[in-house]
Amino acid sequence: MINGLYTAATGMWAQQFKLDTLSNNIANVDTAGYKKVKAEFQDLLYDYSKNAGAATAQNSLHPTGLYVGHGTRLAATTRVFTQGNLENTGNSTDLAISGDGFFQIQLQDGRIAYTRDGQFKIDGNGRIITSNGHLLSPNMVIPQNAVAINVSPDGIVTAELQDGTIQNIGTITLVRFVNPSGLKAIGDNLFLETPASGAPIEGTPGQDGFGSLLQGYVEKSNVDIVKEMVDMISAMRAYELNSRTIQTADEMLRTASGLKR
């Protein structure tokens, strides 16, 4: 019964963590480029009172064992990089990746971060930046006399100038990872490379398995709000059942302690 108390407590902790994860997903349902996170759990060690296949007194083998588990534990939180819906914004500086790949963003300390959020802006110097002022990499500058910007599906950026001429500005490249779930989320819709993600593989949009670029579109979050709500209800019910298990174990201990009276 004492073990039952601790086992049920691990279940309550697990469901609380799952609820925290679901809450974060729901909070980011309108965050551009957000990828949902799912919590993964594993069962804990077992007490082996009798092993399956052990010899019996009658010189036969036990067909089953006698095992008692000790609950559950958090094993990992996995980010799911499925494609989100593409929304037409009509904004020429909005870019969406249709397929695999990440934009490269240069942080203020010089590091390169990665994102699926293509809501770009142009600063006073003509540079393409994120909403937080980080530069798109490779860096490129839009001329002050540009009247229109065009981005092709393969990442070629051109500007139409006031005199009607077309000027080539540069090419947006994408990167991908062997294990994108191993990337480290740092907020602001940005990720950093880790040993688990592997080194970034750079390529041209629309080629060699990379997704193509869509100008005037933004990739929405891949969170399915209905599924998240169903999972939240399931987590709440599991939390309640584990709580009831603790109450039941407590009642059994109270009954056992009163037997000597």
Q: Are residues 20 and 144 in the same domain?
A: no
**pLDDT mean across residues, the chain:** 90
Distance of CA 63 to the CA centre of its chain: 43
* Total count of domains within the chain: 2
Can you give the pLDDT at residue 54? 61
Which range of 4-8, 36-40, 243-247 scores highest in mean pLDDT? It is 36-40
Q: Are residues 74 and 105 in the same domain?
A: no
Can you give the pLDDT at residue 258? 76
User: Per-residue pLDDT tens for 172-214?
Assistant: 999 999 999 999 999 999 999 999 999 999 999 999 999 999 9
Can you give the pLDDT at residue 35? 96
* Cβ atoms of 218 and 86 closer than 8 Å: yes
Preceding peptide of 180 cis, ω within 30°: no
Q: Are residues 115 and 213 in the same domain?
A: yes
- Collapsing DSSP to helix, strand or coil, 35 comes out as coil
Average pLDDT over residues 123-135: 94
Tokens of 190: 């940005």
Tokens of 109: 């300390």
Global pTM value: 0.84
Q: Are residues 101 and 208 in the same domain?
A: yes
Q: Are residues 229 and 177 in the same domain?
A: no
Q: Are residues 148 and 241 in the same domain?
A: no
Q: Are residues 231 and 191 in the same domain?
A: no
Domain that holds residue 178: 86-219
Q: Are residues 94 and 126 in the same domain?
A: yes
Q: Are residues 108 and 204 in the same domain?
A: yes
Average pLDDT over residues 80-108: 95
Cα Rg of the chain (Å, integer): 27
Q: Are residues 205 and 105 in the same domain?
A: yes
Q: Are residues 75 and 103 in the same domain?
A: no
Q: Give the separation between CA 205 and CA 130, rounded to whole angstroms.
A: 19
From 173, 30, 153, 37, select the one nearest 102 (Cα to Cα): 173
Q: Are residues 158 and 200 in the same domain?
A: yes
